[in-house]
Amino acid sequence: MNALLTATAKRPVPAELARSWLLVAGTRPETFDDAVRSHADVVVLDIEDAVDATHKADARADVIRWFGNGGQAWVRINDATSDFWADDLEGLRRVPGLQGVMLAKTEFGDQVTDTAQRLGGDVPVVALVESALGIENATGIACARGTFRLAFGSGDFRRDTGMAADREAMAYPRARLVISSRCGNLPGPIDGPTVGTSHPILREQSATTVTMGMTGKLCLSADQTPVVNEVISPTRTDVEWAQEFLADFDARGRIVRDGSDLPRLGRARKIMQLAEAFDVVTVR
């Protein structure tokens, strides 16, 4: 089959499948609209690490004001043990346009549950796991009521543990988050960001994200998002294989021939689901 992949105009990607999660400093409201117009699947307005303690209230107010003017995005809020968590939730509760929150430094499942309850119960919460304790409790966090998806705060995790940033050192925490997400029946977890401006390094690290079974990645700038989206999306070879396998499966009356058919059928259907969600189609 000769086929080319094309992408049509951008459309919203469901947060459970979102690949690129763009962090935007809450102190820079003039950048919010541009971030939303970027290639990011999800925009996360950051009122945690990106904001000095003396400016938390102002950043929160700017974010809420932007929502009041019709903005739509996620917000990374301060951790449940901080002095700012309760004020963040009080300010964001029932705010139109709030698509979800990312809870910083999550270490226990009840922190997610308490966050979700204070927000009204219908706001999705991504648990950002950033410490050794959080990794050890990852399955409990994934199974907690209110948890929508897990994310890896790799920088703070390395600072907490002293571990290196290379692929081998980070394999264990990434694997724990993937396995815990599966135990909690969650979508694949979101990997930590790539620091720096090198797109080859970003591409390499995004490929590691995929290899480890993670299905999203935090981004620190808008120009990272197209690379992340491309690497995490199904490849042309993936889509062509899935189409051919499903066509053959239908042609033989959907009969399972051996023990490899069901796993391949599941993979083919998943690839086609992602291709549709990411607006990637084949043109013959």
| Cα Rg of the chain (Å, integer) | 20
Report CA 216 to chain centroid distance, whole Å.
4
Whether residue 214 sits in one domain with residue 87: yes
> Residue 119: how many CB atoms within 10 A of its CB?
23
* CATH at 196: 3.20.20.60
Phi, psi (degrees; rounded to nearest 5) at 196: 115, 180
Do 74 and 202 lie in one domain? The reply is: yes
- Tally of structural domains, the chain: 2
Boundary-marking domain end, from 212, 232, 252: 232
Q: What is the pLDDT of residue 2?
A: 34
161 with 278, same domain: the answer is: no
Distances (CA, A) of 118 to 102, 143, 176, 199: 14, 19, 28, 40
Average pLDDT over residues 127-144: 98
What pLDDT sits at residue 66?
98
**Do the domain assignments include residue 143?**
yes
Q: Residue 19 contacts by C-beta under 8 Å, 6 or more apart in sequence?
A: 13, 41, 215, 216, 217, 228, 229, 232, 233, 278
Q: What pLDDT is stored for residue 281 in this prediction? A: 65
Chain segment 151-180, per-residue pLDDT in tens: 999 999 999 999 999 999 999 999 999 999
* Band (213; pLDDT cuts 50, 70, 90): very high
Domain identity same for 72 and 213:
yes
For the entire predicted model, the pTM comes to 0.90
Q: In this predicted structure, which of 135-149, 177-191, 238-252 has the lowest mean pLDDT? A: 238-252
Residue 271: pLDDT above 50? yes
Q: Please indicate, yes or no, whether residues 213 and 249 belong to a single structural domain of this protein.
A: no
- Given a contact cutoff of 8 angstroms between Cβ atoms, the answer to whether 101 and 70 are in contact is no
Model confidence over 76-132: pLDDT tens digits?
Answer: 999 999 999 999 999 999 899 999 999 999 999 999 999 999 998 689 999 999 999
Instruction: Tell me, yes or no, whether 24 lies in a domain.
Output: yes
Residue 253, pLDDT > 80, answer no
**Does residue 257 sit within a domain?**
yes
255 and 278, same domain (yes or no): yes
Q: Which pLDDT score, from 0 to 100, does residue 251 have?
A: 81
Q: Are residues 132 and 266 in the same domain?
A: no
| Residue found by looking up tokens 């089959």 in the block | 1
Confidence of residue 9 (pLDDT cuts 50, 70, 90): very low
φ and ψ at 96, to 5 degrees? -60, 140
Looking at the fold, whether 200 and 62 belong to one and the same domain comes out as yes
Domain of 140 in residue numbering reads as 20-232
Is-contact 183 139, C-beta < 8 A?
A: yes
| Assigned domain for 125 exists | yes
Q: Which of 63-72, 220-229, 256-265 has the lowest mean pLDDT?
A: 256-265
| Same domain assignment for residues 213 and 246 | no
Look at residue 131 and tell me if it is in a domain.
yes
Average pLDDT score, the chain: 91
